[in-house]
Amino acid sequence: MGNLEVRFWGVRGSVPTPHEPNMEHGGNTPCIEVRLGGGTPLIFDAGTGIRCLGRKLLDGVPPGGNHKAHLFLTHFHWDHIQGLPFFDPLYRADYFIHVWSSLEVDLLQSTLERQMSRPYFPIDLTEPPRRPDYTVAPAEGAEVEGIRVEPFPLHHPGGSTGYRLSAGGARIVYATDHEPGNEECDRRLLQMADGADLLIIDSQYLPEEYPSRRGWGHGTWLASTEMAKRAGVKQLVLFHHDPARDDEAVEDLLRMARGEFTNTMAAREGWSGQL
């Protein structure tokens, strides 16, 4: 069957930060890529990181043929969709883009089309040679390119969706833009993360910062380590780095997190792994 492969293309929260002090971990907003055995890519979120991913997907691929990618969106705050207009495969007639989310199809389509419409962008989403296909991610999960994808609700203003990915006995949980404190959502996240090989989770704040940011929809490194311990995950990944936190500050945060849960890493662009 092959290995479950993951690569980070964007790990920053809220707004891109293309500044030298942030380049070790990266300044692009959220986008990760998952494949099974080198197969068709499943992309999670369309922050600015999706631009470089799109260029990589087309590198050395001449026009013609029948290419495909699946894009799963967690929600529609700007930092999670702002890279979509710059995703080069969107403009190739031979590239089929299948977009999934928890929204009904008509609302999903209209939401993305409004982002790519004049006067906000010079090319309408209705203009590329091959329009995306839109699908509701079913609550019971779906098999997509050999990977089982199961959506679940997260606690975030306006709502957000986490995803559990399973294949060949390996499991990845992607849970960005989640604020602990909602009993139902926390319980569901714990269930989905139980025994996961990789838990990628929103860890934007320090515990001492959180009181002034309550209700903003993000978590802390301490809450993330507590979830990792309770769920018995193998590897914790701190994600959605605060735009005000440079690489040195992220490393400080990481050291504190490892004091609570040893197998912790701070997400960085370009990192890849196989499960």
Give pLDDT tens digits for 169-226.
999 999 999 999 999 999 999 999 999 999 999 999 999 999 999 999 999 999 999 9
The pLDDT of residue 1 is 46
The pLDDT of residue 2 is 63
The pLDDT of residue 61 is 84
In terms of Cα–Cα distance, which of 252, 189, 197 is closest to 226? Answer: 189
Contact between 218 and 204 (Cβ < 8 Å): yes
Residue 228 lies in a domain: yes
Q: How many domains does the chain have?
A: 1
| Unique residue bearing structure tokens 């894009």 | 71
Residue 274 lies in a domain: no
Residues with pLDDT less than 70, the chain: 1-2
Total number of residues shown for the chain: 275
Model's pTM, two decimal places? Answer: 0.97
The CATH number of whichever domain residue 111 belongs to comes to 3.60.15.10
The pLDDT of residue 99 is 98
DSSP 148-191: EEEEEEE--TT-EEEEEEEETTEEEEEE-S--TT-HHHHHHHHH
Residue 153 is part of which domain span?
4-59+66-269
Diameter of the chain measured on Cα atoms: 54
The pLDDT of residue 63 is 84
Q: In this structure, how many other beta carbons lie within 10 angstroms of the beta carbon of residue 259?
A: 10
Residue 275 lies in a domain: no
- CA dist 84 → 97, 106, 112, 213 (Å): 11, 18, 9, 28
The pLDDT of residue 34 is 98
Residue 169 lies in a domain: yes
Instruction: Give me the residues paired with residue 97 across strands.
Output: 69
In terms of Cα–Cα distance, which of 113, 114, 140 is closest to 126? Answer: 113
